[in-house]
Amino acid sequence: MPDTKEEVKKDKVAQERKRIPLGTRNVLTAPKRDGFVRRFVNDKGDRVQRFKDAGYSIVGDDIQVGDPKIGRPEQLGSSVSVPLSGGNQRAVLMEIPEKHYKEDYAAAQNKITEQENEMKRSSISQSKDGLVGKVAF
């Protein structure tokens, strides 16, 4: 039990502060926008330009990004960006129309499905046990 007024004050402040369990803070989240899909892109090399070429645009809205206590998101020029661990790299918030996102996702999924089907396809030279090739003793 706290003895002094200062200890009582510290105890009261500690109780009022909301506890945030480890690993539950939303460092890289941004509000959704109808009709668009948003994501953070590391501003490294030509990644931002590659995303622009694919139809993404840099978000320039005045919005709250992630946990307000983490990383101090900033508006650099007209873009929303967040410092990453170490502080020497940034992630830029970008968005693409949902229609384009779904088209890109479907194309990528078709490629994966093709590869999976190819792996599952039986080879003409397979034996009954599913093994390929000759067994030598």
What digits encode the pLDDT tens for the residues 99-137?
999 999 999 999 999 888 877 765 544 556 555 656 666
Examine the pLDDT at 15 and tell me if it is beyond 70.
no
Cut 0.85: pTM above it: no
What digits encode the pLDDT tens for the residues 67-105?
655 445 454 445 677 767 666 788 888 999 999 999 999
Residue-wise burial string across 106-136, b where 16 or more C-beta atoms lie within 10 A, e elsewhere: eeeeeeeeeeeeeeeeeeeeeeeeeeeeeee
Domain assignments of the chain as residue spans, ordered by start: 26-119
